[in-house]
Amino acid sequence: MQSTPQHTFSTDPDNQPQDDQLKSRSPFQLAMRRFLRNKLAVISVFVILIIIILSVMAPVFTDQDPEQTDLFKIEEHPSKENILGTNGQGQDNFARLLYGGRVSLIVGFSAMTFTLLIGVVLGSIAGYYGGIIDNIIMRAADIMLMLPFLVLALTIMAIVDRVTIPFFITIIALTTWPSLTRIIRGTYLSLREQEFVLGARAIGASDFRIVFKHFIPNAIGPIVVNATLMMASYIIIESALSFIGFGIPQPTPTWGNMISEAQNVRILRDHPEAWIPPGFAILITVLAINFIGDGLRDAFDPKSSQR
């Protein structure tokens, strides 16, 4: 008698039958619930939000102009006026850190959106129609993947006089689209054989409807996850290119060209306040975005998190 199972009175919120009967949850709502249960991912969302607020509202936090050079204040140590000191052109490091976040986030987000657009369109066409069209698109993707990204990007940057932010974003998107396109195509190829797609064709649904109502909602997991992880890698790419001087040029502040100051041994040794904060900012941002990506993957595909 004592061994009567007690778990029927479990306090676990998931085991409340009444609640479930009253309210049914869509697959998207279920994914959201799983995401919100992932602490690391939720904290990362807040971290990213703080970084966005800091950079978007930069004028609130500093009254210094990040592009204003001052030859009388070169490489100064931190002071009340310049919290993180100044760089080799006398620009305020703190202001550049805040405004630089704008560039990194804009580059990351826009390049991701652009790549997503190319990837969804080309991946959908290739994955849905298959055959010759698929072959053409995928061989083009192979050629792009074959070219080493860095060499290609450097060549293009070297040819152009002045690299603007939109140009930079375009270059990144046009050189990195194949990976996302492949993922989307691959997902479609497996979806195409699903019976519900045949069912949609059996009722006479148009190709457009099948792609938008049946393929994309079922491929949204891999698409969102990979797009997120890609955004992190774009922020790294921007920093890396700026670091070696082929990114977005001065006087526009970016985290990458702030770190490039540290190429100078004197600054590396004597002015850690000039390069540690931007380095840390890149680290935190990329890490947070990756955690969000992982959280999304676990949320959309619960099987992947069952360790």
Partner 1 sequence: MTNQDKHVAELTRDHSDHQQLLDQDTLISVKNVKKYFPVKGGILKRTVGHIKAVDDVSFDIKEGETLGVVGESGSGKSTLGRVILRLLEPTDGRILFEGADIAHIGNRKMREHRKNMQIVFQDPLASLNPKMSVGELIEEPLLVQTSATKAERKQKSIELLEKVGLRASDRTKYPHEFSGGQRQRISIARALALNPKFVICDEPVSALDVSIQAQVLNLMKDLQDEFGLTYLFIAHDLGVVKHISDRVAVMYLGRIAEIAPKDEIYKNPKHPYTQALLTSIPVVDTGEDTIQREKVKISGELPSPADPPSGCTFRTRCPFVHDRCAAERPELKETENGHYVACHLYT
Does residue 199 belong to the site contacting partner 1 (CB under 8 A)?
yes
Smallest gap from residue 210 Cβ to partner 1 (A): 10
Nearer to partner 1, 30 or 74 (CB): 30
The residue range among 58-66, 152-160, 198-206, 225-233 that interacts with partner 1, by the rule CB under 8 A, is: 198-206
Longest dimension (CA), the chain: 87
Q: First vs last Cα of the chain: how many Å apart?
A: 36
Q: What angle do CA 18, 24, 25 make, to 5 degrees?
A: 125
The closest of 231, 219, 241 to 115, measured between CA atoms, is 231
Q: Which of 33, 39, 77, 201 binds partner 1 (CB under 8 A)?
A: 201
The residue range among 9-17, 162-170, 201-209, 276-284 that interacts with partner 1, by the rule CB under 8 A, is: 201-209
Separation of alpha carbons 121 and 63, rounded Å: 44
How many residues bind to partner 1 according to rule CB under 8 A? 22
Does residue 214 belong to the site contacting partner 1 (CB under 8 A)?
yes
Smallest gap from residue 300 Cβ to partner 1 (A): 11
Contact 138, 225 (CB under 8 A): no
- Tokens linked to 251: 């006087």
Q: Which of 5, 13, 17, 204 binds partner 1 (CB under 8 A)?
A: 204
Q: What backbone torsions phi and psi does residue 92 show, to the nearest 5 degrees?
A: -75, 120
Scan residues 238-297 and list those touching partner 1 (CB under 8 A).
none
Contact 254, 87 (CB under 8 A): no
Q: Which of 56, 209, 212, 245 binds partner 1 (CB under 8 A)?
A: 209
Scan residues 11-30 and list those touching partner 1 (CB under 8 A).
24-28
Nearer to partner 1, 149 or 196 (CB): 196
Scan residues 158-197 and list those touching partner 1 (CB under 8 A).
194-196
Task: Return the residue matching tokens 């100051």.
Answer: 261
In DSSP terms, 86 is beta-bridged to: 92
C-beta atoms surrounding 267 within 10 Å: 18
Provide the binding-site residues for partner 1, judged by CB under 8 A. Answer: 24-28, 194-196, 198-206, 209, 213-214, 217-218
